[in-house]
Chains A and B, each alone.
Chain A
Amino acid sequence: MTRDEVRAQMNAILAKQGKGAAGDDGASLQEIGFRSLDFAELALRVEMATGKILDFEAAVLRRIETVDDVLAFFVEATRAA
C-alpha cells in the first residue's frame, strides 16, 4: 500500500470518532488521538484491503510515535508480504 492509501485509512478511523485528520506527518499519535486500538484497527483494515495476513510482530518491537512512523510501518509491512 502507498503512504496515501494508509493515510486515508488512518483518517477514516479518526473521522468516525469525530477527530481531525492526521495531516502533519510529524504529529505525535498522542496529539491527534490515535490510540493503540486504532493502530490495531488500521492493521486489520490494511489486511482487509490487501487480502493478505501480514506479519505485524515488528510493530511490537518498533517505536511508533508519529504519523510518519505509522505510514512507514504499514508501507513496509505490505511491501514485505
Chain B
Amino acid sequence: MPPDLCRANTVTVDGETHTWADLAERAASCLAGRVDPAAERIAFLPDSPAGPFAAAAFLASRQADGLILPGDRASETMRSLLAADGFTVVAGHADPVLPPTPPQVRPGRVAIFTSGTTGVPKLLQHTWGSLNTMGHIAEMAPRRWLLPYAAGTYAWYQLATLSLFKDGQHLVAADPRDTEAFFAAGAAHRADAMSSTPTFWRFALARLDPARLQQVGFRQISLGGEIVDQGILDRLRALFPEARLNHIYASTEVGACLSVGDGQAGFPVEWVESDRHRNFQFRIVDGTLRVRSQFASASVRRDEEGWVDTGDRVEVRGDRVYFVGRVEGSMINVGGSKAYPADVERVILGHPAVQWCRVHARRAPLVGYLAAAEVVADGDAAALEGDLTQWCGARLPDFAVPRIWTFLEEIPMAATLKSARMVPDG
C-alpha cells in the first residue's frame, strides 16, 4: 500500500507557501485532459521553481508512473532515454510529447536519473515506498527543512518524500547558489533543519560570516552525498552546538541506509554483519561496501542473497569503518604504493588556510601516477604550495603527498552540491 499523503504539510518556494493539497490540485487542473496517469508514464520537465513540487504532489496523489527533471537539466541524452523508455514528456504548457512506442505503466513507480558523476546518466526505478526511508520512524520532531537540492535528484526526493508522507515536516526551497539569499530565506521562513553535502557547507562557510549562517536556528543538520570528514563535522558542531548533527550514507542505487549521529566520521565497525538495523545490513567484501536494503532501487543489480555492491571502498581503522573513495578510479597508484584521495584530502583540509580541496591521480612518467590536488585556500598560491607540501609531508607517506597543486578562486560546486571536477583525473 502506498503511504498516505500529508496534505497539510507545506512547501515554501520563492517566498510563497503552498500545501501539498494545493500543489496536487494545481497540477491536476493544469494537466486535465492532457495526460492520463492510468495509461502513460509521465516525465515532468518543469520550468518554474514550484513546478517540481506540483509534479511530485500529482505523481504521489495519483500513484502515477513518472519522473521529475527540471527542464534546464534535461540534456539531449536524457530526453532520448525518456523517449526510449516510453515516457510522455510534459514541459510547461506545451503539448505533451508522446513516446514512439506505448509504455508499460506501473502505478506508483518513480524513475530517477543518477547524477552522472560516475558515468553516463542512468534511469533507476524506485517507488514511493522505497523513497520513503523515514516512514518507519515512529516519532519525529516537527521540522522545517531548508532544501538546497536540485529537483528530481535522489536527495531532493528524500526531503520531498519526508514532507509528503510525514506529519509536521515542511520544506523551504531556495536557490543554494545565492548563498546569502538561501540562508536569508531559511531565517525568514523559520527553517530549523537542513540536509546538504560537505561541499555545500564549505561553499557557504567560505562566502558567509558564521553569524549569517547562525541566523537560521538549526536544530538538525544532516550531511551526505559525499564522504563526510571529521573536519566539517567539527566545524558544524562548533557553529551549531545545539543542533542534532548526523551524516547519512545514501545513493540513488541503494537508497539512504546509514545515519551516524555520534559526531564522528565513518561508522561503527559493529554495524557490519549485524542485524541491528531493521531495513538494511552491511557487509565488506574485498574492501568494498555491500548493502542489503529495502530502500534500494528495483533496477539495481543484486547477488542471489540480495546484496548490492556499492562500488564504495571502505577501510576498517580501529573501531570505525571509513569511506576512502570509489573502487573505480579512486586509488592513486604511485609506483606500486597506493594512496587514497580521501585520506590525502583529510590531511589537506586540516590545514588552517584551506577551505576546500580535491585530490586526484595525475598520470606521470616513471611511476605511473602522482597525487595532484586542487585547492581553494586563503593566501598567496606560491607560498601555499610549499606550505601545503610540507604540511602533507609531515603527515603522509612520501608517495601520497600531492606533487601538482592547482589553486582555484572559488569552490567548484556541481548542481548536485558535490565537488565538481575542474581538472580531469588521469
Contacts and interface: CB of A to CB of B under 8 A. Distances in A.
Interface in B22-77: none
B364 A43 contact: yes
B393 interface: yes
A10 B334 CA distance: 20
Contact of B335 (A18, A40, A44, A47): A40
Given A37-B398, A37-B399, A18 B386 contact: yes
Nearest to B405: A16
Tell which of B335, B364, B386, B389 has the most Cβ of chain A within 10 Å: B364
B398 A54 contact: no
Interface stretch (B226-234, B295-303, B365-373): B365-373
A19 to B, nearest CB: 10
Contacts of B365: 40, 43-44, 47, 54, 56
Contacts of A18: 386, 390
B403 interface: yes
Interface string A46-75: 010000001010011000000000000000
A56 B364 CA distance: 11
Interface residues of A, number: 17
B312 interface: no
A8 to B, nearest CB: 14
Contacts of A37: 334-335, 367, 370, 398-399, 403
Interface in B370-426: 370, 385-386, 389-390, 393, 398-399, 403-404
A16 B389 contact: yes
B390 A44 contact: no
14 contacts: A15-B386, A37-B335, A37-B367, A37-B370, A40-B366, A40-B370, A40-B403, A43-B365, A44-B362, A44-B404, A54-B365, A56-B366, A59-B366, A60-B366
Interface of A: 15-18, 35-37, 39-41, 43-44, 47, 54, 56, 59-60
7 tightest CB-CB pairs across the interface, nearest first? A16-B386, A43-B365, A44-B364, A41-B403, A40-B367, A16-B389, A56-B365
